Amino acid sequence: MFIDGKTRLLGVIGDPVHHSLSPAMHNLACAELGLNYCYLPMHVVPENLRKAVEGMRAIGMVGFNATIPHKEALVSMMDELDPVAAMIGAVNTVAISSEGRLWGYNTDVYGFVTALREAHVVSLQDASVVVLGAGGAARGVVAGLLELGVGRIVLVNRTESRAVALAAASGSGLVEAVSWSVLSEVLEGCRLLVNTTSLGLSGVESGVLDLSPLSDGAFVYDIVYSPPETPLMAAARARGLRAENGLGMLIHQGARAFEIWTGRQMPVARVEVLLRGLVGGSGSGSRSSSSR
């Protein structure tokens, strides 16, 4: 990559952000397509979020991604919101126009749905699904699950009030919130368990849930992608269940963001090979390839 006075800037903000594979993904895509862009990781703590956003606008960046914990807070800072971001109340992709206007998008929904379909998850039509967490990523997951036609979504979060708020914001009677203390009860009969929390994220925290209540045909999806086999995935496989990490969701949401910024299609196959090499494994016991 050659950086000069015409290089256009992209990036990702988060707290933490050291684990992100987005810089590798987007910089490879730009190099493959001969685009003079550079994508940077930027550690931004919540109290500095507004200053950081204004700074990126001021220096003429093309856009940026957002990860934990900024997706919800960004909504009020946007000049324009795409319908998906407005509906779910979370922004993970921002495009900055030549006039400095901030356009907020949410590509998590597309990334999650595409990754689930590629994982060949058993039919989720009318299924019961348990989602761990109630933050910005959970909002995208809930919207994606409703798009897939599930029958029931149970939100479980350590701060129950956040789960209750997300259930209400979903606008669907299919979404309910329960206390973490009853997790084992709601896992019974669940066809899909999705983790959207930082549980197991490298350098953050670790932990293993009791998955014994899950039925033998259940599927476990952890949006964490580093390490490639999270503690939750390891527990699922020890239980004889299929499990998948979040690499496919990462790539597909990134591909959509890349298209928003550049107008070009990301070379997904090349990106997948690179990222699988970086995380050190496929992260899937059910298929040979994934795109997140």
Tell me the catalytic residues: 71
Q: Which residue type is seen at 257?
A: A
Q: Is the peptide bond before 267 cis (omega within 30 degrees of 0)?
A: no
Q: 265 in helix, strand or coil?
A: coil
Cβ atoms within 10 Å of 223's Cβ, excluding its own = 29
Contacts of 171 (CB under 8 A, 6+ apart): none
Contacts of 157 (CB under 8 A, 6+ apart): 132, 133, 134, 138, 163, 166, 177, 180, 197
Find the helix or strand (DSSP H, E) in which 118 lies. Answer: helix 108-118
Main-chain dihedrals φ then ψ at residue 93, nearest 5 degrees: -140, 130
